[in-house]
Amino acid sequence: MNLLECYEILGLRLDAEFDAVKAAYRRLARQCHPDVNRGDRQAESKFIRITRAYKALAENQRLTGATNVWRSPQPQTPTPPAPSDLDQQLKWQSYEQLQVCLQQRRYARAIALMEGLAYRLPHDAEVRQWQGITYLSWGTHLLQQQQHHKARTYLRKALLADPHNRKLRQRVEGLLETILIPAI
């Protein structure tokens, strides 16, 4: 079971704090506990999945939280910390899901996925690039739908997400030039 599935099983976003993970687990565990639902195999299997998801996220929290406990108080360095193996795994699973979402034109899901990942990995250049491309794709789709105001908003978000990407900037600026929004 990967981290993305764990968050989905608990009904949480990728950027959820660990307190929210605990609260979601407790709420769902109370609903599906075998003592409450005697003889209900479906509730029992759901309880097992919920417990496994919580344990995986708790282990991830323990591993990432343990590094923070043992750090000596030193001045902050400008380099961001290297993402853990679990964060890297989550990143690439999210990338695969992003590809599927963009191919199926599920832009809302793709944007939510990238915003959650950008919140989780704020210093990752690849994530910023993917986020910019996602906004660009949605903005282009909105242009095709003649929704110029929304398109302009998402094209600008693409520039803000990845401001150092020259090709993205050229593409966005070219699209923004085609938008004619009358003055009100």
Work out the pLDDT band at 113, boundaries 50, 70, 90.
very high
Q: What is the pLDDT of residue 93?
A: 93
Residue linked to tokens 């030193």:
74
Task: Report the share of the chain in percent with pLDDT over 70.
Answer: 88
Work out the pLDDT band at 80, boundaries 50, 70, 90.
low
The token pair that represents 181 in the structure block:
């929004």
Question: Are 127 and 88 contacting, i.e. CB atoms less than 8 angstroms apart?
Answer: no
- Give the count of beta carbons closer than 10 Å to the beta carbon of residue 69: 6
Question: Are 20 and 12 contacting, i.e. CB atoms less than 8 angstroms apart?
Answer: yes
Over residues 93-105, the pLDDT tens digits come to 999 999 999 999 9
- CA dihedral sign, ordered 75, 80, 85, 86: positive
Listed residue (69, 20, 29) closest to 49, CA to CA: 29
CA distance 11 to 53: 11
Listed residue (129, 125, 114, 122) closest to 171, CA to CA: 129
Work out the pLDDT band at 76, boundaries 50, 70, 90.
low
CA distances from 82 to 47, 115, 120, 148 (A): 34, 19, 12, 39
The token pair that represents 37 in the structure block:
């639902």
Over residues 127-145, the pLDDT tens digits come to 999 999 999 999 999 999 9
Listed residue (136, 139, 134, 131) closest to 161, CA to CA: 131
The token pair that represents 89 in the structure block:
């795994």
The domains located in the chain, with CATH, are: 3-68 (1.10.287.110), 89-178 (1.25.40.10)
As a whole number of Å, the end-to-end CA separation of the chain is 53
**Lowest pLDDT segment from 6-10, 47-51, 76-80:** 76-80
CA distance 132 to 138: 10
